[in-house]
């Protein structure tokens, strides 16, 4: 019988250990290796899109709303989106954003 692996470390505050909520977002851990190539605006937008996406990676948030929630200008969101598209992390067709799998090398 397999046992789950031991935790990496004991929680600092074991009375406040997080649990997975019913509505849960996930981010592929391999994204850590790509962060150094992204601006702070791109990272903020990418995190927002991960939190907003459905199970297929799609979301319909308007740039103006995203900008307001992130404390950015709408133009910053648009430029960050264009750079994320160029890096093949996101595809966009107004008004739909779609997160791409990190191993997707298709143009």
The answer to whether position 79 is within a domain reads yes
The answer to whether position 43 is within a domain reads yes
The answer to whether position 2 is within a domain reads no
Is the entire prediction scored with pTM above 0.85? Answer: no
The answer to whether position 16 is within a domain reads no
Instruction: Write 29-38 long-range contacts (CB < 8 A, 24+).
Output: 30/102, 31/102, 34/87, 34/89, 34/102, 37/87, 38/83, 38/84, 38/87
The answer to whether position 52 is within a domain reads yes
Range of the domain at 94: 37-99
Query: What gap in Å lies between CA 90 and CA 104, rounded to an integer?
Result: 10
In percent, how much of the chain has pLDDT > 90?
A: 66
The answer to whether position 90 is within a domain reads yes
Low-confidence winner among 13-17, 33-37, 94-98 (lowest mean pLDDT): 13-17
CATH number of the domain where residue 57 is located:
1.10.10.10
Per-residue pLDDT tens for 40-72? 999 999 999 999 999 899 999 999 999 999 999
């Amino acid at each position: 019988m397999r046992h789950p692996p031991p935790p990496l470390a004991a929680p600092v505050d074991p009375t406040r250990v997080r649990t997975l909520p019913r509505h849960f977002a996930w981010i592929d851990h391999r994204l850590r290796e790509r962060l150094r190539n992204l601006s702070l605006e791109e990272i903020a937008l990418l995190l927002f899109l991960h939190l907003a996406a459905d199970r297929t990676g799609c979301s319909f948030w308007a740039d103006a709303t995203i900008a307001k929630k992130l404390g950015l200008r709408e133009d910053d969101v648009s430029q960050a989106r264009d750079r994320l598209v160029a890096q093949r992390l996101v595809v966009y067709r107004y008004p739909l954003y779609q997160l791409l799998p990190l191993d997707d090398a298709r143009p």
